[in-house]
Structure 1
Amino acid sequence: MRNQRFLGIVLALIGASLWGLNGTVSQYLFQHQHVDVNWFVTARLLGAGVILLGLQLIRKKPIMAVWHYKKFALHLVFFSIVGMLGVQYSYMAAIAYGNSAVATLLQYTAPVFIILYLIFSRQQPFLRMDVLMIIATLVGTWLLLTGGSLANFSVPMSAIIWGLISAVTLAFYTLYAKTLLAHFSALVVIGWAMLIAGIGMNFIHPIWAVGTIDFTWQTNIGLFFTIFFGTAIAFWFFFQSVGYLSAKESTLLGTVEPLMAIFSSIIWLGLAFSGLQMLGAALILGIVLIISLMSK
């Protein structure tokens, strides 16, 4: 039992770390290797979807069961286009227009949107604690984006808008996936969702329309990392870890993702954070932890 728990911790840490590094490598590809974000999202979704489903087949696990039921099949297609494609595209666009650290932290405000949805849909009462958490998140986001002054926006407005869209779509993604995840393996659901989203994105920007992308060795290594390690392996490892850990432990270890995105951006890409911006980041992460670890 102890060995399994240790394995779960290692898998969760690796998975969350790869997610965090994935954002920084994606930023490098967009801003230094001039990879088009539309082509990148198409390639990433198609590649990771095929890899995840392939891993299931190698492990001799079924992947077609979801298609045997019309209700679940329609549910999966809608989830893939609105949820998976929505969150993946908006997150990458936020990185392309801004940076991976801010994009990741903005996406991590998703639990607040989940709370608001549950309140307005009358699935839970509006508590005093909710008000405090929402205010703290707004203050944290304000400090992160401005450093305490409207005249000092740290990222373009386009990056902020896409980052907030990624938070809203992640909230939808989280809530809407519950039905599918209650009946089918997480990797099967995510694998199919990525593949379907990639096929949908292919109609917007075909994978063969590479444009002016120069496939240097740096570009190729970056693409391989983001598709294989930063997406497919990260999802696989993190969801494997859930079987060995409690929900609270998984949540705590999952916060390594934004921390890794921040530190790798500072060390590798030279991103500068002021003290007030770091305070804003800490507020956002703190609220995410409180929301995730609350008993209800």
Structure 2
Amino acid sequence: MDRRKKIGYALTMFGGICWAFSGACGQFLFQNRGLSSDWLVAVRLTLAGLILTVYSLLRWRGNVLSIFRSAKSVAGIVVFALFGMAMCQYSFFRSIELSNAATATTLQYTGLVLVMLWLALWDRRLPHRSEILAVVCAMAGAFLLATHGDPSQLVLSDKALFWCMMGAISFAVYSVQPREMIVQYGTMPITGIGMLIGGIVLCAVFKPWHVVGQWDIVTVSGLMYITVFGTICAFCCYLEGVRRIGAAKGSILAAIEPVASAVLSVVWLGVPLGGMDMSGIALIVAAMVLLAKDKGHETDKNIEKA
């Protein structure tokens, strides 16, 4: 394996770990400091987007400005900002608020199935056997997390399940849609502008200037971690990793996030995860491993040559 690929794997996994801590911090702030997902996501995306955009302008001014000289790239960045970045982040934290970090994180990763289906359509081929088995594992895992094996009763509320599924869809959009723009304009400019546009739109909707929650040094520290490491570092590392190793492998390797999130939920937040929950998490992680072992993703190879 060449050095470029190794760095891509490391960046993707580091981004997943940062996301796991970010989700756990979000759950802590919701439960213990009275913050809401509406307020938190609007503020974190706007702050992180502003920091990254200013940094990108100072370092890659030409790249940033060239994004707005093409109608195609403007349309692409707006789609990414609204349906990838903003929706991905809002649905993630909203589902944490309605359930818990481990469940929300794991169900979001069923979006890798959508990534796989998109790549199969792109290649105009049927899914491989390993991919079909991965779909079965992912769906079975989601079923166990949502129902604990009893189809007549949802363990999650309707709202929690809805936002978890929206998270999976937006995760797939986030993993695939911006790749061509990242190759052309760079990871940080696309990430920063996407965050800033998404954050401004969410601010217009949720009006975060009406501050909520209990504020102390712990709250401020949690918000700063979520903004700097859970947003800027996590997204830049993940997107740069995807650029190096491909959308399919990137979305799979970031699957260290649900494992780390489950550990944090139990050890730090005291969330009781039963046998059905752990089985569901294991099945979804198994789906990711199956896809990681599959060598048939020609689309990623073709994009890497672009």
TM-score normalised over the length of structure 1 = 0.86
What secondary structure does 2:68 align onto?
Answer: helix
Distance 1:79 1:60, change over 3 A: closer
CA distance in 2, matches of 1:32, 1:272: 17
1:68-114 deviations in Å (ceiling 9; x for gaps) = 21221122112211222111111111011011111111110002123
Q: Is the 8 A contact 2:187 2:240 kept in 1?
A: no
Q: Amino acid of the residue matched to residue 267 of structure 2? A: I
CA distance in 1, matches of 2:3, 2:175: 30
Match of 2:17 in 1: 17
CA distance in 1, matches of 2:116, 2:2: 35
Aligned length: 294
Match of 1:276 in 2: 276
Distance 1:60 1:122, change over 3 A: closer
What secondary structure does 1:68 align onto?
Answer: coil
- Residues 1:207 and 2:208 aligned together: yes
Q: Amino acid of the residue matched to residue 271 of structure 1? A: V
- Residues 1:165 and 2:166 aligned together: yes
Q: Amino acid of the residue matched to residue 36 of structure 2? A: D
Distance 1:49 1:112, change over 3 A: same
CA distance in 2, matches of 1:8, 1:178: 14
Match of 2:51 in 1: 51
Q: Is the 8 A contact 1:251 1:292 kept in 2?
A: no
Q: Amino acid of the residue matched to residue 289 of structure 2? A: L
Q: What is the correspondence of 1:172-191 to structure 2 with a 5 Å cutoff?
A: 172-191=173-192
Match of 1:289 in 2: 289
Match of 2:218 in 1: 218
1:200 CA displacement: 0.8
Q: Is the 8 A contact 1:83 1:172 kept in 2?
A: yes
Match of 2:300 in 1: none
CA distance in 1, matches of 2:87, 2:174: 9
CA distance in 2, matches of 1:27, 1:150: 27
Larger mean CA deviation between 286-295 and 194-203 belongs to 286-295
CA distance in 2, matches of 1:89, 1:194: 12
1:192-248 deviations in Å (ceiling 9; x for gaps) = 1110011111110123122x42222221111111011111122234445568x7559
Match of 2:91 in 1: 90
What secondary structure does 1:182 align onto?
Answer: helix
CA distance in 1, matches of 2:18, 2:263: 13
CA distance in 1, matches of 2:78, 2:245: 30
CA distance in 2, matches of 1:280, 1:249: 21
- Residues 1:105 and 2:110 aligned together: no
Q: How large is the RMSD of aligned CA atoms in angstroms? A: 3.0
What secondary structure does 1:183 align onto?
Answer: helix
Q: Is the 8 A contact 1:27 1:99 kept in 2?
A: yes
CA distance in 2, matches of 1:159, 1:203: 24
Match of 1:66 in 2: 67
Larger mean CA deviation between 122-131 and 251-260 belongs to 122-131
- Identity of aligned pairs, percent? 28
Q: Is the 8 A contact 1:109 1:288 kept in 2?
A: no
Q: Is the 8 A contact 2:133 2:287 kept in 1?
A: no
CA distance in 1, matches of 2:132, 2:143: 16
What secondary structure does 1:14 align onto?
Answer: helix
Q: Amino acid of the residue matched to residue 98 of structure 1? A: S
Which 5+ residue runs of structure 1 have no aligned equivalent? Answer: none
CA distance in 2, matches of 1:206, 1:145: 32
1:151 CA displacement: 6.7
Which 5+ residue runs of structure 2 have no aligned equivalent? Answer: 298-306
What secondary structure does 1:39 align onto?
Answer: helix
Match of 2:39 in 1: 39
